A and B are shown apart, each in its own frame.
Chain A
Amino acid sequence: MSALAQLQRAFAAALHGGALEAAAPRVRAAGVPPAERLALYRRNVRATQHDALAATYPVVRRLVGEAFFGVLAQDYLRAWPSRSGNLDELGHALAAFTAAYAPAAALAYLPGVARLEWACHECALAADAGALDAAALARVPAERQGEIRLWLHPSVRCVESEHPVVAIWEANQPGRDGTLAGEAAAECALVWRSGGLVRVRRVESAERAFLHAVCGGASLDAAVSALGLEDAGRVAAVLARLGADGVIAGFTAGEDAA
Protein backbone atom coordinates (compact mmCIF):
# COMPACT_ATOMS: atom_id res chain seq x y z
CA MET A 1 0.00 0.00 0.00
CA SER A 2 1.32 3.43 -0.86
CA ALA A 3 2.15 5.91 1.90
CA LEU A 4 -0.63 8.12 0.54
CA ALA A 5 -3.24 5.35 0.77
CA GLN A 6 -2.07 4.55 4.29
CA LEU A 7 -2.37 8.15 5.38
CA GLN A 8 -5.79 8.55 3.77
CA ARG A 9 -7.08 5.38 5.45
CA ALA A 10 -5.92 6.54 8.88
CA PHE A 11 -7.42 9.97 8.25
CA ALA A 12 -10.72 8.52 7.03
CA ALA A 13 -10.94 6.25 10.07
CA ALA A 14 -10.59 9.32 12.28
CA LEU A 15 -13.24 11.20 10.29
CA HIS A 16 -15.80 8.46 10.25
CA GLY A 17 -15.93 7.74 13.94
CA GLY A 18 -12.80 5.70 14.55
CA ALA A 19 -10.22 6.78 17.08
CA LEU A 20 -8.67 10.15 16.29
CA GLU A 21 -5.40 8.77 17.67
CA ALA A 22 -4.74 6.54 14.63
CA ALA A 23 -4.06 9.52 12.37
CA ALA A 24 -2.81 11.90 15.05
CA PRO A 25 0.89 10.88 14.98
CA ARG A 26 1.06 11.92 11.31
CA VAL A 27 -0.29 15.41 12.03
CA ARG A 28 1.95 18.29 13.10
CA ALA A 29 0.78 19.68 16.41
CA ALA A 30 2.08 23.25 15.94
CA GLY A 31 0.44 24.47 19.11
CA VAL A 32 -2.86 22.61 18.73
CA PRO A 33 -3.30 18.92 19.68
CA PRO A 34 -3.61 16.85 16.45
CA ALA A 35 -6.79 15.24 17.79
CA GLU A 36 -8.42 18.69 17.94
CA ARG A 37 -7.39 19.40 14.37
CA LEU A 38 -8.86 16.07 13.23
CA ALA A 39 -12.01 16.68 15.26
CA LEU A 40 -12.58 19.90 13.32
CA TYR A 41 -12.53 17.93 10.06
CA ARG A 42 -14.86 15.35 11.58
CA ARG A 43 -17.37 18.07 12.50
CA ASN A 44 -17.12 19.64 9.03
CA VAL A 45 -17.75 16.30 7.31
CA ARG A 46 -20.74 15.54 9.54
CA ALA A 47 -22.19 19.00 9.00
CA THR A 48 -21.85 18.81 5.21
CA GLN A 49 -23.44 15.37 4.99
CA HIS A 50 -26.15 16.25 7.51
CA ASP A 51 -27.04 19.38 5.56
CA ALA A 52 -27.25 17.44 2.31
CA LEU A 53 -29.69 14.97 3.88
CA ALA A 54 -31.69 17.81 5.43
CA ALA A 55 -31.99 19.47 2.02
CA THR A 56 -33.33 16.25 0.47
CA TYR A 57 -35.66 15.40 3.37
CA PRO A 58 -37.16 18.66 4.70
CA VAL A 59 -40.50 17.04 5.64
CA VAL A 60 -38.90 14.08 7.45
CA ARG A 61 -36.75 16.57 9.33
CA ARG A 62 -39.75 18.72 10.27
CA LEU A 63 -41.73 15.66 11.40
CA VAL A 64 -39.06 14.34 13.74
CA GLY A 65 -37.56 17.66 14.78
CA GLU A 66 -34.06 18.96 14.30
CA ALA A 67 -32.41 17.11 17.21
CA PHE A 68 -33.86 13.71 16.29
CA PHE A 69 -32.99 14.28 12.63
CA GLY A 70 -29.39 14.99 13.61
CA VAL A 71 -29.11 11.62 15.35
CA LEU A 72 -30.98 9.84 12.58
CA ALA A 73 -28.61 11.34 10.00
CA GLN A 74 -25.49 10.19 11.86
CA ASP A 75 -26.91 6.68 12.38
CA TYR A 76 -27.87 6.54 8.70
CA LEU A 77 -24.42 7.66 7.57
CA ARG A 78 -22.81 4.92 9.65
CA ALA A 79 -25.06 2.31 8.03
CA TRP A 80 -24.92 3.86 4.54
CA PRO A 81 -21.62 5.75 4.18
CA SER A 82 -21.36 8.22 1.34
CA ARG A 83 -20.17 6.45 -1.80
CA SER A 84 -20.20 9.38 -4.19
CA GLY A 85 -18.60 12.76 -4.67
CA ASN A 86 -22.06 13.92 -5.68
CA LEU A 87 -24.07 14.70 -2.54
CA ASP A 88 -27.30 14.26 -4.50
CA GLU A 89 -26.81 10.50 -4.08
CA LEU A 90 -26.32 10.55 -0.33
CA GLY A 91 -29.90 9.96 0.80
CA HIS A 92 -30.79 7.05 -1.49
CA ALA A 93 -31.40 4.52 1.29
CA LEU A 94 -32.92 6.72 3.99
CA ALA A 95 -36.45 5.35 3.55
CA ALA A 96 -35.28 1.74 3.92
CA PHE A 97 -33.13 2.75 6.85
CA THR A 98 -35.95 4.52 8.71
CA ALA A 99 -38.24 1.50 8.17
CA ALA A 100 -35.89 -0.58 10.33
CA TYR A 101 -34.85 2.23 12.67
CA ALA A 102 -36.01 1.34 16.17
CA PRO A 103 -36.02 4.91 17.60
CA ALA A 104 -38.54 5.89 14.87
CA ALA A 105 -40.69 2.77 15.23
CA ALA A 106 -43.61 4.79 16.63
CA LEU A 107 -43.66 6.93 13.48
CA ALA A 108 -45.04 4.28 11.13
CA TYR A 109 -45.67 6.85 8.36
CA LEU A 110 -42.04 8.05 8.30
CA PRO A 111 -40.62 5.58 5.72
CA GLY A 112 -43.47 6.42 3.33
CA VAL A 113 -42.80 10.14 3.66
CA ALA A 114 -39.09 9.47 3.11
CA ARG A 115 -39.92 7.47 -0.04
CA LEU A 116 -42.02 10.37 -1.28
CA GLU A 117 -39.25 12.88 -0.66
CA TRP A 118 -36.69 10.68 -2.41
CA ALA A 119 -39.10 10.32 -5.34
CA CYS A 120 -39.31 14.14 -5.51
CA HIS A 121 -35.51 14.35 -5.42
CA GLU A 122 -35.11 11.81 -8.25
CA CYS A 123 -37.91 13.46 -10.17
CA ALA A 124 -36.14 16.84 -10.17
CA LEU A 125 -32.99 15.29 -11.68
CA ALA A 126 -34.55 12.82 -14.13
CA ALA A 127 -34.07 13.02 -17.89
CA ASP A 128 -36.13 15.37 -20.04
CA ALA A 129 -38.66 14.20 -22.60
CA GLY A 130 -41.05 15.79 -25.06
CA ALA A 131 -44.78 16.26 -24.56
CA LEU A 132 -47.54 13.92 -25.69
CA ASP A 133 -48.82 14.75 -29.16
CA ALA A 134 -52.52 14.27 -28.39
CA ALA A 135 -53.53 15.04 -31.97
CA ALA A 136 -51.23 12.31 -33.31
CA LEU A 137 -52.66 9.88 -30.75
CA ALA A 138 -56.18 10.71 -31.94
CA ARG A 139 -55.14 10.05 -35.56
CA VAL A 140 -54.08 6.45 -34.95
CA PRO A 141 -56.41 4.39 -37.13
CA ALA A 142 -58.96 2.24 -35.31
CA GLU A 143 -57.39 -1.04 -36.49
CA ARG A 144 -54.06 -0.13 -34.86
CA GLN A 145 -55.36 1.24 -31.61
CA GLY A 146 -54.75 -2.10 -29.93
CA GLU A 147 -51.01 -1.62 -30.57
CA ILE A 148 -50.78 1.73 -28.80
CA ARG A 149 -48.39 1.83 -25.89
CA LEU A 150 -48.03 4.97 -23.82
CA TRP A 151 -44.75 6.20 -22.33
CA LEU A 152 -44.54 7.96 -19.04
CA HIS A 153 -42.20 10.91 -18.61
CA PRO A 154 -38.83 9.76 -17.12
CA SER A 155 -39.49 11.95 -14.07
CA VAL A 156 -42.69 10.08 -13.08
CA ARG A 157 -42.67 8.20 -9.78
CA CYS A 158 -45.50 6.52 -7.86
CA VAL A 159 -45.23 6.17 -4.11
CA GLU A 160 -47.71 3.92 -2.33
CA SER A 161 -48.15 3.93 1.40
CA GLU A 162 -50.49 2.58 4.03
CA HIS A 163 -50.42 6.10 5.43
CA PRO A 164 -51.70 9.46 4.13
CA VAL A 165 -48.28 10.45 2.82
CA VAL A 166 -49.55 13.09 0.41
CA ALA A 167 -51.62 14.78 3.12
CA ILE A 168 -48.63 14.69 5.50
CA TRP A 169 -46.28 16.00 2.83
CA GLU A 170 -48.65 18.82 1.88
CA ALA A 171 -49.31 19.80 5.49
CA ASN A 172 -45.57 20.13 6.11
CA GLN A 173 -44.64 22.35 3.20
CA PRO A 174 -43.24 25.80 4.05
CA GLY A 175 -46.04 28.06 5.26
CA ARG A 176 -48.23 25.19 6.45
CA ASP A 177 -48.62 24.36 10.13
CA GLY A 178 -48.48 20.58 9.86
CA THR A 179 -52.15 20.01 10.65
CA LEU A 180 -53.70 17.18 8.66
CA ALA A 181 -57.09 17.72 7.09
CA GLY A 182 -59.40 14.72 6.65
CA GLU A 183 -59.02 11.22 7.94
CA ALA A 184 -55.89 9.11 7.89
CA ALA A 185 -56.03 6.65 4.99
CA ALA A 186 -53.64 4.83 2.71
CA GLU A 187 -52.53 7.03 -0.17
CA CYS A 188 -50.67 6.75 -3.43
CA ALA A 189 -48.66 9.75 -4.56
CA LEU A 190 -47.95 10.57 -8.17
CA VAL A 191 -44.77 12.60 -8.57
CA TRP A 192 -43.85 14.20 -11.87
CA ARG A 193 -42.13 17.23 -13.32
CA SER A 194 -43.93 19.93 -15.19
CA GLY A 195 -42.38 23.16 -16.43
CA GLY A 196 -39.17 22.27 -14.61
CA LEU A 197 -41.01 21.98 -11.25
CA VAL A 198 -41.69 18.85 -9.21
CA ARG A 199 -45.42 18.23 -8.73
CA VAL A 200 -47.11 15.87 -6.27
CA ARG A 201 -50.72 14.75 -6.22
CA ARG A 202 -52.81 11.94 -4.83
CA VAL A 203 -54.02 9.25 -7.25
CA GLU A 204 -56.95 6.95 -6.59
CA SER A 205 -56.69 3.21 -6.99
CA ALA A 206 -58.12 3.11 -10.54
CA GLU A 207 -55.62 5.63 -11.90
CA ARG A 208 -52.84 3.94 -9.99
CA ALA A 209 -53.69 0.60 -11.62
CA PHE A 210 -53.65 2.34 -15.01
CA LEU A 211 -50.23 3.89 -14.42
CA HIS A 212 -48.83 0.56 -13.21
CA ALA A 213 -50.12 -1.14 -16.35
CA VAL A 214 -48.55 1.55 -18.56
CA CYS A 215 -45.26 1.25 -16.66
CA GLY A 216 -45.31 -2.49 -17.14
CA GLY A 217 -45.54 -2.08 -20.92
CA ALA A 218 -49.25 -2.92 -21.26
CA SER A 219 -51.09 -1.80 -24.38
CA LEU A 220 -53.40 1.18 -24.07
CA ASP A 221 -56.41 -1.17 -24.21
CA ALA A 222 -55.08 -3.31 -21.37
CA ALA A 223 -54.18 -0.23 -19.33
CA VAL A 224 -57.66 1.21 -19.83
CA SER A 225 -59.16 -2.11 -18.65
CA ALA A 226 -57.00 -1.81 -15.54
CA LEU A 227 -58.54 1.61 -14.98
CA GLY A 228 -61.85 -0.24 -14.56
CA LEU A 229 -64.03 2.67 -15.63
CA GLU A 230 -67.12 1.88 -17.72
CA ASP A 231 -67.75 5.46 -18.74
CA ALA A 232 -65.69 6.34 -21.85
CA GLY A 233 -65.96 10.02 -20.98
CA ARG A 234 -64.28 9.46 -17.63
CA VAL A 235 -61.54 7.37 -19.26
CA ALA A 236 -60.92 10.18 -21.74
CA ALA A 237 -60.78 12.71 -18.88
CA VAL A 238 -58.17 10.69 -16.97
CA LEU A 239 -56.04 10.32 -20.11
CA ALA A 240 -56.43 13.98 -21.04
CA ARG A 241 -55.29 15.12 -17.61
CA LEU A 242 -52.24 12.80 -17.58
CA GLY A 243 -51.35 14.01 -21.06
CA ALA A 244 -51.84 17.71 -20.32
CA ASP A 245 -49.84 17.46 -17.08
CA GLY A 246 -46.95 15.84 -18.92
CA VAL A 247 -47.18 12.56 -17.00
CA ILE A 248 -47.72 10.76 -20.30
CA ALA A 249 -44.93 11.96 -22.57
CA GLY A 250 -45.53 9.98 -25.76
CA PHE A 251 -46.74 6.77 -27.36
CA THR A 252 -45.87 4.15 -29.91
CA ALA A 253 -48.32 2.52 -32.26
CA GLY A 254 -46.65 -0.50 -33.83
CA GLU A 255 -43.53 0.81 -35.55
CA ASP A 256 -44.43 4.47 -35.22
CA ALA A 257 -43.45 6.68 -32.39
CA ALA A 258 -44.68 10.13 -31.46
Chain B
Amino acid sequence: MAGRPPRPGAGIGLRAPHHAEVERRAPDVALLEVHSENFFGAGGGELDLLERLRARYPLSLHGVGLSLGSADPLAERHLAAIERLVRRFEPLLVSEHLSWSSIDGRHANDLLPLPFTRATLDHVVSRIDAVQERLGRRILVENIASYLEFGESTMPEWEFVAAVARQSGCAILLDVNNVYVNSVNHGFDAHAYLAAMDPATLAEYHLAGHEAGPFGLIDTHAAPVAPDVWALYAEAVARFGPRPTIVEWDAKLPALDVLLGEAGAAEAILAGRHLAVRAPEHVA
Protein backbone atom coordinates (compact mmCIF):
# COMPACT_ATOMS: atom_id res chain seq x y z
CA MET B 1 0.00 0.00 0.00
CA ALA B 2 1.51 3.25 -1.13
CA GLY B 3 -0.77 5.58 0.81
CA ARG B 4 -1.89 5.95 4.37
CA PRO B 5 -1.41 3.10 6.85
CA PRO B 6 -4.57 1.41 8.09
CA ARG B 7 -6.02 3.16 11.12
CA PRO B 8 -9.32 2.63 12.86
CA GLY B 9 -10.81 5.67 11.17
CA ALA B 10 -13.94 6.30 9.18
CA GLY B 11 -14.64 5.92 5.49
CA ILE B 12 -17.48 5.64 3.06
CA GLY B 13 -19.27 2.97 1.10
CA LEU B 14 -18.25 3.94 -2.44
CA ARG B 15 -21.01 3.78 -5.05
CA ALA B 16 -20.69 4.20 -8.82
CA PRO B 17 -22.07 7.77 -9.07
CA HIS B 18 -19.23 8.94 -6.79
CA HIS B 19 -16.41 6.96 -8.44
CA ALA B 20 -15.01 9.74 -10.62
CA GLU B 21 -15.30 12.42 -7.96
CA VAL B 22 -13.62 10.31 -5.29
CA GLU B 23 -10.76 9.58 -7.63
CA ARG B 24 -10.36 13.24 -8.59
CA ARG B 25 -10.61 14.68 -5.10
CA ALA B 26 -8.95 11.85 -3.16
CA PRO B 27 -10.81 12.77 0.05
CA ASP B 28 -9.09 12.20 3.37
CA VAL B 29 -10.94 9.11 4.57
CA ALA B 30 -9.40 6.16 6.40
CA LEU B 31 -10.71 3.50 4.02
CA LEU B 32 -13.15 2.78 1.21
CA GLU B 33 -15.68 -0.01 1.14
CA VAL B 34 -17.19 -1.40 -2.07
CA HIS B 35 -19.72 -4.11 -2.76
CA SER B 36 -17.77 -7.12 -3.99
CA GLU B 37 -20.40 -8.02 -6.60
CA ASN B 38 -19.94 -4.67 -8.37
CA PHE B 39 -16.46 -5.85 -9.34
CA PHE B 40 -17.20 -9.40 -10.51
CA GLY B 41 -16.60 -8.50 -14.16
CA ALA B 42 -13.65 -10.07 -15.97
CA GLY B 43 -12.27 -6.65 -16.83
CA GLY B 44 -13.24 -3.12 -17.68
CA GLY B 45 -13.11 0.41 -16.33
CA GLU B 46 -14.53 -0.30 -12.88
CA LEU B 47 -11.78 -2.76 -12.01
CA ASP B 48 -9.17 -0.30 -13.32
CA LEU B 49 -10.61 2.35 -11.04
CA LEU B 50 -10.54 0.01 -8.05
CA GLU B 51 -6.89 -0.72 -8.83
CA ARG B 52 -6.08 2.99 -8.71
CA LEU B 53 -8.06 3.59 -5.52
CA ARG B 54 -6.40 0.58 -3.94
CA ALA B 55 -3.04 2.30 -4.30
CA ARG B 56 -4.32 5.17 -2.15
CA TYR B 57 -6.72 3.65 0.35
CA PRO B 58 -7.13 0.51 2.43
CA LEU B 59 -10.06 -1.35 0.94
CA SER B 60 -12.98 -3.22 2.43
CA LEU B 61 -14.74 -5.79 0.21
CA HIS B 62 -18.31 -6.10 1.36
CA GLY B 63 -20.35 -8.94 -0.14
CA VAL B 64 -24.11 -8.78 -0.49
CA GLY B 65 -24.87 -11.92 -2.51
CA LEU B 66 -23.09 -15.02 -1.14
CA SER B 67 -26.22 -16.21 0.69
CA LEU B 68 -24.12 -17.43 3.61
CA GLY B 69 -27.08 -18.72 5.63
CA SER B 70 -28.82 -20.62 2.82
CA ALA B 71 -29.58 -24.33 3.08
CA ASP B 72 -28.35 -24.58 -0.54
CA PRO B 73 -24.77 -25.66 -1.23
CA LEU B 74 -22.33 -22.74 -1.07
CA ALA B 75 -22.37 -20.92 -4.44
CA GLU B 76 -19.07 -22.03 -5.91
CA ARG B 77 -18.96 -19.53 -8.77
CA HIS B 78 -19.81 -16.63 -6.47
CA LEU B 79 -17.17 -17.66 -3.95
CA ALA B 80 -14.59 -18.03 -6.73
CA ALA B 81 -15.32 -14.47 -7.85
CA ILE B 82 -14.81 -13.18 -4.30
CA GLU B 83 -11.60 -15.17 -4.04
CA ARG B 84 -10.33 -13.62 -7.28
CA LEU B 85 -10.97 -10.12 -5.91
CA VAL B 86 -9.37 -10.93 -2.57
CA ARG B 87 -6.22 -12.26 -4.25
CA ARG B 88 -5.98 -9.31 -6.61
CA PHE B 89 -6.76 -6.42 -4.24
CA GLU B 90 -5.59 -7.79 -0.88
CA PRO B 91 -8.27 -5.84 0.98
CA LEU B 92 -7.91 -4.82 4.62
CA LEU B 93 -11.36 -6.27 5.35
CA VAL B 94 -13.61 -8.88 3.70
CA SER B 95 -17.19 -9.15 4.89
CA GLU B 96 -20.50 -10.91 4.26
CA HIS B 97 -23.94 -10.81 5.86
CA LEU B 98 -25.46 -13.05 8.51
CA SER B 99 -28.46 -13.79 6.30
CA TRP B 100 -29.65 -15.86 3.36
CA SER B 101 -30.88 -14.89 -0.14
CA SER B 102 -31.42 -18.06 -2.12
CA ILE B 103 -32.99 -21.48 -1.88
CA ASP B 104 -33.11 -24.19 -4.54
CA GLY B 105 -30.93 -21.92 -6.67
CA ARG B 106 -33.47 -19.11 -6.85
CA HIS B 107 -32.29 -15.75 -5.56
CA ALA B 108 -34.23 -13.03 -3.82
CA ASN B 109 -31.18 -10.73 -4.04
CA ASP B 110 -32.13 -9.47 -0.60
CA LEU B 111 -30.73 -10.00 2.90
CA LEU B 112 -33.28 -12.33 4.50
CA PRO B 113 -33.45 -13.20 8.21
CA LEU B 114 -32.45 -16.52 9.76
CA PRO B 115 -34.15 -18.44 12.56
CA PHE B 116 -31.91 -18.21 15.60
CA THR B 117 -31.63 -21.88 16.50
CA ARG B 118 -28.80 -24.23 17.46
CA ALA B 119 -29.11 -26.00 14.08
CA THR B 120 -28.90 -22.71 12.13
CA LEU B 121 -25.89 -21.72 14.22
CA ASP B 122 -24.09 -24.99 13.36
CA HIS B 123 -24.92 -24.55 9.69
CA VAL B 124 -23.76 -20.93 9.49
CA VAL B 125 -20.57 -21.70 11.40
CA SER B 126 -19.70 -24.52 8.99
CA ARG B 127 -20.32 -22.20 6.03
CA ILE B 128 -18.12 -19.47 7.50
CA ASP B 129 -15.44 -22.11 8.12
CA ALA B 130 -15.62 -23.09 4.45
CA VAL B 131 -15.37 -19.48 3.26
CA GLN B 132 -12.49 -18.64 5.61
CA GLU B 133 -10.69 -21.80 4.54
CA ARG B 134 -11.17 -20.94 0.87
CA LEU B 135 -10.07 -17.32 1.19
CA GLY B 136 -7.26 -18.18 3.58
CA ARG B 137 -8.28 -15.38 5.94
CA ARG B 138 -10.68 -14.31 8.63
CA ILE B 139 -13.86 -12.75 7.36
CA LEU B 140 -16.31 -10.40 9.03
CA VAL B 141 -20.03 -11.08 9.15
CA GLU B 142 -22.60 -8.35 9.54
CA ASN B 143 -25.80 -8.35 11.58
CA ILE B 144 -28.73 -7.44 9.31
CA ALA B 145 -31.85 -5.34 9.77
CA SER B 146 -35.04 -7.42 9.89
CA TYR B 147 -38.78 -6.91 9.75
CA LEU B 148 -39.89 -10.20 11.26
CA GLU B 149 -38.82 -12.87 13.73
CA PHE B 150 -39.40 -16.60 13.47
CA GLY B 151 -41.39 -18.49 16.07
CA GLU B 152 -38.84 -21.30 16.06
CA SER B 153 -35.96 -19.04 17.23
CA THR B 154 -34.65 -20.28 20.56
CA MET B 155 -32.18 -17.50 21.34
CA PRO B 156 -32.10 -13.72 20.93
CA GLU B 157 -30.29 -12.27 17.91
CA TRP B 158 -27.36 -10.95 19.98
CA GLU B 159 -26.69 -14.36 21.43
CA PHE B 160 -26.73 -15.87 17.94
CA VAL B 161 -24.37 -13.22 16.53
CA ALA B 162 -21.93 -13.57 19.42
CA ALA B 163 -21.99 -17.37 19.15
CA VAL B 164 -21.31 -17.28 15.40
CA ALA B 165 -18.12 -15.30 16.03
CA ARG B 166 -17.07 -17.40 18.99
CA GLN B 167 -17.56 -20.74 17.23
CA SER B 168 -16.27 -19.88 13.76
CA GLY B 169 -13.47 -17.53 14.69
CA CYS B 170 -14.84 -14.93 12.29
CA ALA B 171 -15.08 -11.26 13.22
CA ILE B 172 -18.22 -9.16 13.60
CA LEU B 173 -19.06 -6.20 11.45
CA LEU B 174 -21.44 -4.47 13.83
CA ASP B 175 -24.00 -2.46 11.91
CA VAL B 176 -25.09 -0.05 14.60
CA ASN B 177 -28.07 1.16 12.57
CA ASN B 178 -29.28 -2.42 12.17
CA VAL B 179 -29.03 -3.01 15.92
CA TYR B 180 -31.10 0.13 16.47
CA VAL B 181 -33.66 -0.70 13.75
CA ASN B 182 -34.13 -4.23 15.11
CA SER B 183 -34.38 -2.99 18.69
CA VAL B 184 -37.32 -0.82 17.59
CA ASN B 185 -38.86 -3.43 15.27
CA HIS B 186 -38.62 -6.31 17.72
CA GLY B 187 -38.81 -4.43 20.99
CA PHE B 188 -35.48 -5.26 22.62
CA ASP B 189 -32.88 -3.20 24.44
CA ALA B 190 -30.09 -2.11 22.06
CA HIS B 191 -27.72 -1.71 25.02
CA ALA B 192 -28.23 -5.35 25.96
CA TYR B 193 -27.32 -6.26 22.37
CA LEU B 194 -24.03 -4.36 22.64
CA ALA B 195 -23.33 -5.88 26.06
CA ALA B 196 -23.46 -9.38 24.53
CA MET B 197 -20.66 -8.67 22.02
CA ASP B 198 -17.10 -9.80 22.69
CA PRO B 199 -14.84 -6.79 21.98
CA ALA B 200 -12.13 -9.12 20.64
CA THR B 201 -14.40 -10.19 17.78
CA LEU B 202 -15.54 -6.69 16.77
CA ALA B 203 -13.60 -5.56 13.73
CA GLU B 204 -15.71 -2.93 11.96
CA TYR B 205 -18.74 -0.70 12.42
CA HIS B 206 -21.37 0.28 9.88
CA LEU B 207 -23.56 3.35 10.04
CA ALA B 208 -26.48 4.16 7.77
CA GLY B 209 -29.82 5.91 7.66
CA HIS B 210 -33.23 4.35 8.29
CA GLU B 211 -36.75 5.57 7.63
CA ALA B 212 -40.17 4.88 9.07
CA GLY B 213 -41.95 2.01 7.29
CA PRO B 214 -45.55 0.81 7.23
CA PHE B 215 -44.66 -0.70 10.61
CA GLY B 216 -41.45 -0.10 12.48
CA LEU B 217 -38.26 1.13 10.81
CA ILE B 218 -36.77 0.23 7.44
CA ASP B 219 -33.02 0.13 6.85
CA THR B 220 -33.18 2.12 3.59
CA HIS B 221 -29.62 3.50 3.37
CA ALA B 222 -31.33 6.54 1.87
CA ALA B 223 -31.10 9.03 4.73
CA PRO B 224 -28.60 10.58 7.17
CA VAL B 225 -27.57 8.57 10.23
CA ALA B 226 -30.24 9.20 12.88
CA PRO B 227 -29.36 10.96 16.19
CA ASP B 228 -30.22 7.82 18.23
CA VAL B 229 -27.88 5.77 16.05
CA TRP B 230 -25.05 8.28 16.54
CA ALA B 231 -25.61 7.94 20.29
CA LEU B 232 -25.56 4.13 20.10
CA TYR B 233 -22.40 4.28 17.96
CA ALA B 234 -20.70 6.53 20.53
CA GLU B 235 -21.69 4.00 23.20
CA ALA B 236 -20.24 1.13 21.13
CA VAL B 237 -16.97 3.01 20.56
CA ALA B 238 -16.72 3.82 24.27
CA ARG B 239 -17.41 0.18 25.13
CA PHE B 240 -15.33 -1.66 22.52
CA GLY B 241 -12.88 0.97 21.31
CA PRO B 242 -12.40 2.45 17.85
CA ARG B 243 -12.75 0.23 14.79
CA PRO B 244 -12.79 1.03 11.07
CA THR B 245 -16.20 2.55 10.39
CA ILE B 246 -18.11 2.85 7.13
CA VAL B 247 -21.01 5.15 6.45
CA GLU B 248 -23.31 3.53 3.88
CA TRP B 249 -25.69 5.36 1.62
CA ASP B 250 -27.20 3.43 -1.30
CA ALA B 251 -30.43 5.00 -2.48
CA LYS B 252 -31.18 8.69 -3.11
CA LEU B 253 -27.42 9.16 -3.01
CA PRO B 254 -26.49 12.63 -1.75
CA ALA B 255 -23.59 14.84 -2.87
CA LEU B 256 -20.26 13.30 -1.94
CA ASP B 257 -19.63 16.10 0.59
CA VAL B 258 -22.71 15.09 2.56
CA LEU B 259 -21.44 11.53 2.79
CA LEU B 260 -17.95 12.75 3.72
CA GLY B 261 -19.55 14.93 6.40
CA GLU B 262 -21.15 11.83 7.92
CA ALA B 263 -17.81 10.02 7.82
CA GLY B 264 -16.22 13.08 9.48
CA ALA B 265 -18.77 12.90 12.28
CA ALA B 266 -17.95 9.21 12.77
CA GLU B 267 -14.24 10.05 12.76
CA ALA B 268 -14.81 12.59 15.56
CA ILE B 269 -16.53 9.94 17.67
CA LEU B 270 -13.73 7.45 17.01
CA ALA B 271 -11.21 10.09 18.12
CA GLY B 272 -13.13 10.67 21.36
CA ARG B 273 -14.37 14.08 20.29
CA HIS B 274 -17.94 12.91 20.28
CA LEU B 275 -19.17 15.09 23.14
CA ALA B 276 -19.25 17.99 20.71
CA VAL B 277 -20.92 15.99 17.98
CA ARG B 278 -24.57 16.11 17.16
CA ALA B 279 -26.27 14.96 13.98
CA PRO B 280 -24.32 16.95 11.36
CA GLU B 281 -26.30 20.05 10.45
CA HIS B 282 -25.47 20.05 6.76
CA VAL B 283 -27.43 16.86 6.24
CA ALA B 284 -30.39 17.81 8.40
Contacts and interface: CB of A to CB of B under 8 A. Distances in A.
A32 B215 contact: yes
Contacts, number: 149
Contact of A8 (B71, B117, B148, B214): B71
A246 to B, nearest CB: 12
Interface in A192-236: 193, 195-197
A36 to B, nearest CB: 7
B150 A26 contact: yes
Contacts of A36: 214-215
B107 A37 contact: no
B110 A41 contact: yes
Contacts of B216: 32
B197 interface: no
Nearest to B102: A85
Contacts of A4: 69, 71, 114-115, 119-120, 123
Contacts of B214: 36, 40
A124 B43 CA distance: 8
A209 B210 CA distance: 55
Interface string B71-94: 100010110010000000000000
A36 B216 CA distance: 12
Contacts of A127: 42-43
Interface string A121-145: 0001111110000000000000000
Given A84-B65, A85-B102, A44 B148 contact: no
B100 A86 contact: no
Given A48-B109, A197-B45, A27 B119 contact: no
Interface string B43-80: 11111110000000000000011110111000101100
B71 A5 contact: yes
- In this complex, the interface size class of chain A, counting residues with CB under 8 Å from chain B, is 35 or more
A53 B239 CA distance: 43
B119 A86 contact: no
A222 B141 CA distance: 56
Interface stretch (A9-17, A59-67, A105-113, A165-173): A9-17
B202 to A, nearest CB: 26
A155 B48 CA distance: 15
A30 interface: yes
A44 B110 contact: yes
Contacts of A84: 65, 75, 77-78, 107
Interface string B109-136: 1101011010110010000000000000
A197 B70 CA distance: 37
Contacts of A16: 106, 108
Contact of B106 (A5, A32, A83, A86): A83
Contacts of A184: none
A82 interface: yes
B108 A82 contact: yes
B235 to A, nearest CB: 25
B215 A125 contact: no
A57 B105 CA distance: 24
Given A28-B150, A197-B45, A86 B37 contact: yes
Interface of B: 37, 40-49, 64-67, 69-71, 75, 77-78, 81, 100-110, 112, 114-115, 117, 119-120, 123, 147-152, 186-187, 213-216, 218
5 closest Cβ pairs, A-B complex: A85-B65, A196-B45, A125-B41, A128-B43, A5-B71
11 contacts: A3-B119, A4-B69, A30-B186, A37-B147, A38-B148, A44-B110, A45-B108, A49-B109, A86-B65, A87-B65, A124-B41
